[in-house]
Amino acid sequence: MKTKIDFKKFVQKSISELKDKECKYANTYLGSMFYIDFGELINKTGRNGNVFQKGETNISVRECYWEIWENITLIGCSNDDDLSFIMNIFIGKFVINISIMNNFLVFKFDNNIDLRCDLTNIDEKIFPEDNIIDVVNNKLSIIYSANAQGEFFIDDMTIVR
């Protein structure tokens, strides 16, 4: 069931999911969307029955403008043509903080890299209530998400009938 939460709870829950978990894998898909896997790899079964591996926890960034900064230098963004080289900067790293800066949700990594995701949805044509950023506990099937209206949620993925 999806429940609205405040930003402070989103940060507390997301940091607790990511704490001490090393990034094992990062990859782009469908243009500028990407995910970053953390912790041990676990087997998951897809809707079609296929088994695949995911990180114990992952960050999924979908339909939003995002930037990657190293210290004060912009090194890549969702508008770049080739994003493959950027994903390698997360491997072996840890998230050490989550904050909001000028309408951007910022994931700070231990190598002075910031992943900044725009919560205003200015550049994308999706529904404002759609999730644009998820922090997912793949073992417990819990999602901490942000939508394009800057709202935060927890979803334990139970089905209410």
Q: What is this structure's pTM?
A: 0.86
How many C-beta atoms surround the C-beta of residue 7 within 10 A? Answer: 15
The arithmetic mean of pLDDT across residues 114-120, rounded, is 89
> Whole-angstrom Cα distance, residue 96 to residue 113?
10
> Whole-angstrom Cα distance, residue 132 to residue 80?
18
> Whole-angstrom Cα distance, residue 150 to residue 161?
28
The radius of gyration computed from the CA coordinates of the chain, to the nearest angstrom, equals 15
At residue 97, does pLDDT exceed 90?
yes
